[in-house]
A and B are shown apart, each in its own frame.
Chain A
Amino acid sequence: MGKRLVTRTPTTFTFATAQYESGDWDSAPLVPPNIIDTIARYTEIAVTPAGVIVSLASPDLLRYPLVYLTGHLPVRFSDAERRQLREFLDRGGMLFVDDHNHDVDGVFHKTATEEITRTIGEPKMLPNTHPLYSAFFKFDEGPPTTSHELNGWGDNLVHKNLFAVMREARIAVLYSSKDYSSEWGYHPDSKRFQSVDNTKFAVNIVVYALTA
């Protein structure tokens, strides 16, 4: 018997939103379809037309290369969530955490960073020359600012950098205080009314998660 050839068909990228026990994990329901729309618009990545919601404690978490986590309220992972998330990150998954409060003194920021630190390690400032910022589009000045930063809401700070927990030179957890959840939280059909598409950075995150 000859060696059997195993062919792998390209899998379809599915955008996953993390569901956790505490807090309001579903505070930005329009971000997933908006990012899916952006991926379809700018790339040829095979993408599932609708996002999925995956529990942090579920083994299904391992089926997705990128998981998006956001919220306003305090985040407290259960042991199962922490364990599953750690395995997900160790196996090459990437968690994108965004503070929907845009407030470094807010409860989400404090509790989420505590939980991330406890789970995988302390987030460190990500230099703006990181390959993430050139994975697809070029962002020479680092993460794009959001209207919520510029309008002075939340902590009234324009965050110059994102934070990340690295695993072997790749980003395991990408942490943002820039409130992309608000910035990208609109129906994708409304994108045509914007003079500049503000969701392009999402393409970099997805492409980085799929290629790094």
Chain B
Amino acid sequence: MTALERVASARRALGAAVGVRAALWASAAAVVFLAGFGIVDWTVGAPRAARILALPFAIALALAAACYALWRGRRVRSLAAVALWLEERVPRLRYALVTALDAPHASPLLERDIAAVKWTPVIRRALGHALLPPLLVLAVAAALLFALPAGIRARISAPHAGDTLLRAAGAPAALRNRLTPLVAEVVPPAYTGGRRVTVDEPSSIDALAGSHLVLRGQGSASGIAAALNNATVAPTLLRDSADQWRLDIVVPALPAALELRDRSYARTVIVAPHPDSIPVVTLTAPAHDSVMRTPKGAFTLTATATDDYGLDASWFEYIVSSGEGETFTFKSGVVRRVSAGNARTASLTAALNLESLQLKPGDLMHVRAVARDRNNVTGPGVGVSETRTIRIPRASEYDSIAIEGAPPPGVDSSQISQRMLIMLAEKLQARRAKLARADVVKESQRIGSDEARLRQKIGTIVFARLGGAQQGEDAGSNDASGHRTPEQLLAAANAATQASAGTTDFEGDETPVVAVNRPLLEAYNAMWDASRSLEVGEPGAALPPMRAALEAIQRARNAERLYLRGKAPVVIVDVSKVRLAGKRDDAKSSTRLPRATLDSSSERRAERFDVAIDLLASNPAAAIDSLLALRVDALSSAPTLAGALAPAIDALRAGRDATDALVRARRIAAGGTLARMESAWGSAW
């Protein structure tokens, strides 16, 4: 074996020693820390937050120690450093080892001298010096750690709620207060699927009504008594479990104070239950009550249901009431009952066959959705939706009056258009000299076609009136005009207007119908003349008959215009009111009023609060108990005060500053925030 190979072998041995020493120091550091922390927890007790951090901190400490040890032994990586380390501890080498490592070629003389030197004992001693100290420290620390009670080690290795009981009490058993420490465990009913919750040192326990509540403490159950709302708890519920006592009760439906007594020691725990809400059911279709004229086909029903813990089933219910007077019959049924499968939300859809219900006019059908939760402890809770009513109307209910706005009468609209056509014709006539003949004819014919359209409209009005009048008023005559065609009517109208030879007036023995229609007939004929002139491109010639038509239409409008009006109301304007300058006899400015007097129960609560605060200086425990008792009462009657008392009690129990919480609770006990006093003016708006 050459010198180089021997140095390499030494380096491997020393390297391994460095690694082992780092591991030993790391373990020793962690165990020393845990042992020390365990002693502290054993003697004074460490909070759970600190215990949760203990193990990660020990691991970090171990890593740091390992890193430091490795850093200290970093030179073992170099052969030259190992050779120098050997030269330092084996003087016989006289730097031959370093020289041999530095020489480019191996010298037989040097190799021989080096081979003659044995350094194994040196390395063995070095290993012993390196490993023995951390090994001893680790052994001592481990011995200390394992000498601690098993509960202390469990509190450090796996801290959790309720491990307060794992820490052995310091006082002798005869003098020990078995009510401290106290651990509460709430096991919710199985149907909720909820997890059990453990609380250390509880002052108030919020739990679902019907939950299983277990209270545990150190020591035997012998001599411990419990009372729930001043009613003694059966002794059988208090029993020993290993080296602990435990009390098993069911969370009641109403808030209660659980008083525990151990000789002269007493402790009050508030049990604040919250109920399992019934399902909330919303019927989404039909959305409103309705009237159904023909009860046929399928009637769609949809609903949604929600529950705080889980639904069991949901369905629709209907009731049909039939009959009238004093005789009514009812029939009811269930539609589509489905299992909700413990879901918290469910949608329900069904179709109700109306024909199968044989609904008759006058029947009323009531529909609602129902859902049931899985509460098998205090329930089940059944929630129902709003009820919708579907009515089948009787035949006699169909009488109604429909009033719709009528369009403007045809005469008015045609008159408007005639005015526009006159304006167009006048413009065309004015531009006629500047336009080509073909353009004039084209534009004139376009106006003429509009004029013809208007004429037909007038004709429709006139003929409808003539026909209607004859049918309505002359039905008994021998005149066959009711069977005339429009052309025949036109001819008759033409003859009538020609025969009048001039402007028609309404005098004489004409019937009102003829009097009304005669101007329109005149307009109709004038529009014929105008159309003919417009068709041949003579707007100038068309204008006189167009104006005559407009004038005739205007006469017809005036003849028909009626001004019907009821008696107008006499309106007296309240000028002061309009100007917002009026005055009200009952108006007054805002005034500051004293706080409303507390009712008797609130007053009693405020007094009890004050008494408890007075006790706080002389007997804090009694003050806390008084506040606890006050909170029990307030849970049902004054939940806001109960909520404000909770942090105050917790702070007092933990020895923290409870001033802010107590001030807030005092303010609420004294009546809370002042309500704003509305003035008469404010209330008026």
Contact = CB atoms under 8 A, between A and B. Distances in A.
A50 B570 contact: yes
Contact of B572 (A26, A33, A153): A33
A145 interface: no
B109 interface: no
Given A105-B554, A153-B408, A155-B419, A41 B572 contact: no
Interface string A151-164: 01101100000000
A15 to B, nearest CB: 10
A105 B550 CA distance: 10
Interface of B: 408, 412, 416, 419-420, 550, 554, 558, 561, 563, 565, 568-575, 578-579
Contact of A187 (B565, B571, B574, B578): B571
A76 B17 CA distance: 135
Given A72-B561, A72-B563, A153-B408, A33 B573 contact: yes
Contacts of A50: 570-573
Nearest to B570: A50
A29 B412 CA distance: 25
A33 B558 contact: no
B573 A188 contact: yes
B558 A107 contact: yes
Contact of B568 (A26, A156, A188): A26
B419 to A, nearest CB: 7
A27 interface: yes
A41 to B, nearest CB: 5
A37 B575 CA distance: 7
Contact of B575 (A47, A73, A105): A47
A72 B554 CA distance: 14
Contacts of A49: 572-575
Contacts of B420: 156
A36 interface: yes
Given A37-B578, A152-B416, A24 B571 contact: no
A46 to B, nearest CB: 9
A30 B567 CA distance: 11
A30 B571 contact: yes
- Leading 4 A-B pairs by shortest Cβ distance: A29-B568, A33-B571, A40-B578, A40-B575
A73 B554 CA distance: 14
Given A156-B416, A188-B571, A41 B578 contact: yes
A109 to B, nearest CB: 11
18 contacts: A27-B565, A29-B568, A30-B569, A30-B571, A36-B573, A40-B573, A40-B575, A40-B579, A41-B578, A41-B579, A47-B575, A50-B572, A72-B563, A105-B550, A106-B558, A107-B558, A187-B571, A188-B571
A40 B571 CA distance: 14
A147 B214 CA distance: 81
Interface in A93-124: 105-107
Given A30-B569, A40-B579, A187-B569, 12 more contacts: A29-B568, A33-B573, A36-B573, A36-B575, A40-B573, A40-B578, A41-B578, A49-B575, A50-B571, A105-B550, A153-B412, A156-B419
B674 to A, nearest CB: 36
Nearest to B413: A152
A10 to B, nearest CB: 15
Given A37-B578, A40-B578, A27 B570 contact: no
A29 to B, nearest CB: 3
Nearest to B558: A107
A135 B383 CA distance: 69
Contacts of A30: 568-569, 571
A105 to B, nearest CB: 5
A30 to B, nearest CB: 7
Contact of A24 (B554, B563, B570, B579): B563
